[in-house]
Amino acid sequence: MIKKQFLITFLFLLFFTKSYAFEVKIKVLLEGPLQGSSMTTLLVNELKKNHANVPNDAVDIVNIEIRTSLSTNPLETKKGFLLKDGSVVDYATLSPILHFSATGNAYYVVVKHRNHLPIASKNVVSHQSTCDLTNAQNVFGDTKILHGKAVMIAGNVHNETGDMYEINASDFYVVSKAKDDQLTGYIIQDANLDGIVNEKDFQIVKSNAEKLYFSQIQ
């Protein structure tokens, strides 16, 4: 009898205290490779050299952070492949639903990329919803609009400590040198992600460095 009561109590607690892992879908665009409504996938073969299970429509790798506030450190970070339509799939499982181990109803979402400025959600994003960062209304702070969509700003090709979240003269210097050296491959100076550093990258960085774009999210 005691055992039965214990079991009922246990099941009751299990049911009513059940917590779930936070899940979210992401939509985000990178300025560099964006052409019209989708992004180019010219680095896919470079990605395949160093990563397994790379989708054929992968643009690059991004990191997705969830936070309890935009001014605090990430609670958890997940790596994903950004696809040409702006969706993000899990790096390991390729699921379009990103499963975090944190439990909770809603978090801020931050997306980071190796040579674009970070982008963040203006509000918390609910469990099992889509965080659409291509809609400027959903984006924290100033945004850049291209082809009618909010984008992550390209050209942060020099992002060492102290210079990490700003596109400035250092980025301009770094891309100028890489252009002169005609660097190719999977390299940070390739602002438009087409596998070569040339005049196109130079112009992207020059234009954004002149505007001194920076990210309030670190």
- Residues making contact with Ca ion (CB under 5 A): 156, 158-159, 163, 171, 190, 192, 194, 201
Residue with smaller CB distance to Ca ion, 145 or 169: 169
Residue with smaller CB distance to Ca ion, 43 or 131: 43
Helix (H), strand (E) counts: the chain: 4, 13
Shortest CB 202 distance to Ca ion, Å: 9
Shortest CB 29 distance to Ca ion, Å: 17
* CA gap 92, 98 in Å, rounded: 10
Shortest CB 117 distance to Ca ion, Å: 9
Per the CB < 8 A criterion, the answer to whether 133 and 88 are in contact is no
* CA gap 20, 114 in Å, rounded: 31
Residue with smaller CB distance to Ca ion, 76 or 163: 163
Pairing relation of β-strands 129-132 and 21-27? parallel
* CA gap 69, 78 in Å, rounded: 17
Shortest CB 194 distance to Ca ion, Å: 4
